[in-house]
Structure 1
């Protein structure tokens, strides 16, 4: 696989990597395409972090680099959009007014809390916390569909008290199956995000059993992203991702341009 469709640079609040450095690393790895998906999380709950990319500056810089590197690599204009039901109009307006190639919809904030912080798990069991997270995804999917794939569907597991020690598709299948069916019904895809390996899970996000179930139920659109916030993580563990997708029954992965998917054979 020679394309990475989940990347952050210094235009995202949690990265200090210059975009040029990310591009140079991608070229050195032999990638044919990179899609930057800078964070846009309206009303993020940490007052010390503002996850709202400066879209005009981001677009200007990316456009300049696209022209500079056009004979070496394809650079695509993406966004990771933080979903919350009451933000429907703002999210839809943003996506409508910019010519993005690709939009990831993600759940980072659930009822005013980010699972990244231990407070999300306080006062309830780990299972209750995970269910709350999955229910928020279901609510988002019932509310909006202004994106192309749902990102790291079990992101919450990265930060659980026991991470994935007691977590499985089977344990949460009622909620996960509803998520999968909603994605398929809406013509939306799912990403395989190798950031789960960086988080020490030993698995991608989502777990491969969820990807397998998505395929079993007729899901076809899957993108591959490293969730890299620094050059050294670009395309990390993509060999594992390729193997997993094949075992789950996928023959192709999706590349988005102008919000339209094309399909490329897996390695």
Structure 2
């Protein structure tokens, strides 16, 4: 069983109301041995109906995390992380933030493309169907070619979750050139990617990224692979982790990865 969840949000992120302690207690109940909180930091997030700003109060976050880390140290290892939303216009801010704290783990993610989140309907109205994921991947490629202060790249095909076209299905060959350039860049930079089980929660039938992307990542020599639920509440922690061991071994992986002090440790599946 995979016993580490390395993508979690609490009330320190704009899109969660979950108290941090409730997440820790759930993790202990689930039998997890390590968790990493990865609260959002998304500079210049566009205006939205929910009034989310995705700006992290780092000192308040740190104070609670390290208090609870000590309180539950005999039950579970709690690690200090963040998920930084990357855009070409905010690299300098993101770089300064990433270097401002001794994070155990940093996820680099793309949430905003051309001032639009694929979560919002305007994105696929602007870039229908396949165009949406193509544009999303183009921005990821620019990010990984330019920005280096992260450990793994998050949910590489995040945009697929929100495509409103019910006839749309991800087909690897439609994006193969872009995806392979992204994966080669990540590997050459000594970074990794995550398996994000939010895809199961959104009804895709697979995690993000798609198993074909995971398979190609391994074929290209990719080894660093963290596991995260992207849970924003206790009931979504370790979401469908039971499906992952067989899936990952079927595409060539024998280990998954956890981080401390931004250094990877490989754990047998």
TM-score, L = length of structure 1: 0.97
Rounded to whole Å, the distance in 1 between the matches of 2:128 and 2:117 is: 16
- Report runs of 4+ in structure 1 exceeding 4 Å deviation: none
Determine whether 1:15 maps to 2:16.
Answer: yes
C-alpha displacement at 1:53, in angstroms? 1.4
Determine whether 1:185 maps to 2:201.
Answer: no
C-alpha displacement at 1:226, in angstroms? 0.3
1:156 to 142, 154, 159: 159
**Paired position in structure 2 for 1:80:** 83
Deviations 1:9-61 (A, max 9, x none): 00010000000000000000010000000000000012511101111100100
Rounded to whole Å, the distance in 2 between the matches of 1:117 and 1:198 is: 18
Determine whether 1:197 maps to 2:226.
Answer: no
**Paired position in structure 2 for 1:32:** 33
**CA contact under 8 A between 1:157 and 1:164: conserved in structure 2?**
no
Task: Write the mapping of 1:217-256 to structure 2, written as runs, cut at 5 A.
Answer: 217-256=220-259
**CA contact under 8 A between 1:20 and 1:65: conserved in structure 2?**
yes
**CA contact under 8 A between 2:111 and 2:118: conserved in structure 1?**
yes
C-alpha displacement at 1:162, in angstroms? 2.6
Which deviates more, 201-210 or 45-54? 45-54
Where does structure 2 lack aligned partners over 5 or more consecutive residues?
A: none
C-alpha displacement at 1:177, in angstroms? 0.8
In structure 2, relative to structure 1, the CA distance for the partners of 1:65 and 1:128 (3 Å cut) is: same
Deviations 1:95-124 (A, max 9, x none): 111010000000000010000001001144
**Paired position in structure 2 for 1:107:** 110
Deviations 1:78-103 (A, max 9, x none): 00000011211111111111010000
Any idea what SS the aligned residue of 1:97 has?
coil
C-alpha displacement at 1:166, in angstroms? 2.4
In structure 2, relative to structure 1, the CA distance for the partners of 1:38 and 1:164 (3 Å cut) is: farther
In structure 2, relative to structure 1, the CA distance for the partners of 1:215 and 1:164 (3 Å cut) is: farther
**CA contact under 8 A between 2:129 and 2:168: conserved in structure 1?**
no
Any idea what SS the aligned residue of 2:73 has?
coil
Between the two proteins, the alignment pairs up a number of residues equal to: 266
C-alpha displacement at 1:163, in angstroms? 6.1
In structure 2, relative to structure 1, the CA distance for the partners of 1:163 and 1:93 (3 Å cut) is: farther
C-alpha displacement at 1:164, in angstroms? 7.8
**CA contact under 8 A between 1:164 and 1:201: conserved in structure 2?**
no
Where does structure 1 lack aligned partners over 5 or more consecutive residues?
A: none
Which deviates more, 167-176 or 255-264? 167-176
**CA contact under 8 A between 1:158 and 1:164: conserved in structure 2?**
no
1:207 to 190, 196, 210: 210
1:70 to 69, 73, 77: 73
